[in-house]
Chains A and B, each alone.
Chain A
Amino acid sequence: MSGQTVSAADLLDLEPNRAIEQIVDGLRDSVLRELRRRGAVVGLSGGIDSSLVAALCARALGPERVLGLLMPEADSAPDSLELGRLIAASLGIETLVEDITPTLTVFRCYERRDAAIREVIPDYGPGWRSKIVLPPLLGSDRLRTYSVVAESPDGQRVEKRLPASAYLQIVAATNFKQRTRKVLEYFHADRLVYAVAGTPNRIEYDQGFFVKLGDGAADVKPIAHLYKSQVFRLAEHLVVPKEIRSRPPTTDTYSVPKDKTSSTSPSRYRRSTSAWLRATADCRPQRLRRRSASQKRTSSASTPTSTRSVESPTTCTSLRCSSPRSSPRSPQ
């Protein structure tokens, strides 16, 4: 034992050029050689994670081999589209806009969600906005129960604790958004013979903060091993526009923006029963491989019987998926 202490800042520090080159090398190897895909599709939310993934893909594959998909819906933040276009323009990648509102309407996403909210806020309807929150983690020993925060058209805010059935229906309805976006990403990936690049960072991945068959599904996840501070570091190094790097975090899922008074909206917290994309320390992008039938049976047997979503390796469609590298864990 040397007796030396290492600070958290030191542990999280990384050398940007080296980290970027490792990811870029890994992306080339995964997408072009192993997956035999010609490029990558990235869903652009206007946030820093998807912007960094797009920048890494552009560097690895060339901007002409990256498609940025902009997929706004009725609850999207007004600046999401604009910031998505900004990063695409700065990278020189092609973009397509796929407004998913009509698809979500057909699924009755909004209708089902609003019906659940009306269980506790009867007046909730057109023109209202909402989000789900948990109480602050620090400074209170309160059990972490979910509430809905709703804002009326005239700006009045009301917060109500949710009964379990309403909470679960809001989450289930909202998950249509991530799943619809993923369907479109794979549509474009299939027609172009591209891979889908996922955008979860390490915090999201470790907590299971993604939706099964939604944003948790991808062929490669280039930043799944990076903590958020490292994401910011690499984004700055790759000259991701400041407007994106300084933007307050958003899931682009709920219509009321996140704030500092409550925890991040919990709908995307998921029990990560298959942390099969566990990040490695060598900064290589994560790649998915097909699991064997026996491994699938094991995963199925370990799936909780509750209604919460879990990530499943079967989401990697026709491409190769790997076996889980770690045991199930819960964000609780």
Chain B
Amino acid sequence: MIDSALREQEVRRFLATNFPLGEDAHGIDGSSPLLEAGILDSTGVLELVDFLEERFEIQISDDELVPEKLNSVDNIVRFLAEKHA
């Protein structure tokens, strides 16, 4: 079982190493919107979804592609916890 701190660490590392402005993800506030911060764009959302599905062995439905689940580090970590509950 992966705990939330580890999930957050992996998500931040993924953002930091895969996107042009991803370095900002290391220090970004967990509640800051990733799209508005310029860390993610629409292609980046696809890449994030691919990463989350593969790394955390989950399936993300179209209905779950909403900002409340994916547009901040905190939301992503909370969403992963829900999927693994």
Contacts and interface: CB of A to CB of B under 8 A. Distances in A.
B43 A143 contact: no
A145 B45 contact: yes
Interface stretch (B6-14, B24-32, B64-72, B77-85): B64-72
A305 B20 CA distance: 6
Contacts of A305: 20
Interface in A123-169: 134, 141-146, 161-165, 167-168
The binding surface of chain A is classed by DSSP as loop
B66 A143 contact: yes
A330 B62 CA distance: 24
B20 A145 contact: no
A145 B65 contact: yes
Contact of A167 (B35, B43, B62, B71): B43
Interface string A304-332: 11111000000000000000000000101
A134 B65 CA distance: 13
A142 B49 contact: no
Contacts of B42: 134, 143-146, 266, 332
A163 B49 CA distance: 8
Interface of B: 19-20, 35, 41-43, 45-47, 49-50, 62-63, 65-67, 70-71
Contacts of B63: 142
Contacts of B19: 306
Contacts of B47: 164
The B interface, classified by DSSP as helix, strand, loop or mixed, is helix
A304 B44 CA distance: 13
Contacts of B35: 143, 332
Given A143-B67, A143-B70, A145-B65, A168 B43 contact: yes
B40 to A, nearest CB: 9
13 contacts: A142-B65, A143-B65, A143-B66, A143-B67, A143-B70, A145-B62, A146-B42, A146-B46, A163-B50, A164-B46, A167-B43, A306-B43, A332-B35
Contacts, number: 52
A167 B41 contact: no
Given A143-B42, A305-B20, 20 more contacts: A141-B67, A142-B63, A143-B35, A143-B45, A143-B65, A143-B71, A144-B42, A145-B42, A145-B62, A145-B65, A146-B43, A146-B46, A162-B46, A163-B49, A164-B50, A304-B20, A308-B43, A332-B35, A332-B41, A332-B42
A130 B41 CA distance: 24
Contacts of A143: 35, 42, 45, 65-67, 70-71
A167 B49 CA distance: 13
A161 B43 contact: no
A307 B47 CA distance: 12
B43 A142 contact: no
List the 6 closest pairs (A to B, CB-CB), nearest first: A164-B46, A164-B47, A143-B65, A305-B20, A144-B42, A163-B50
Contacts of B50: 163-165
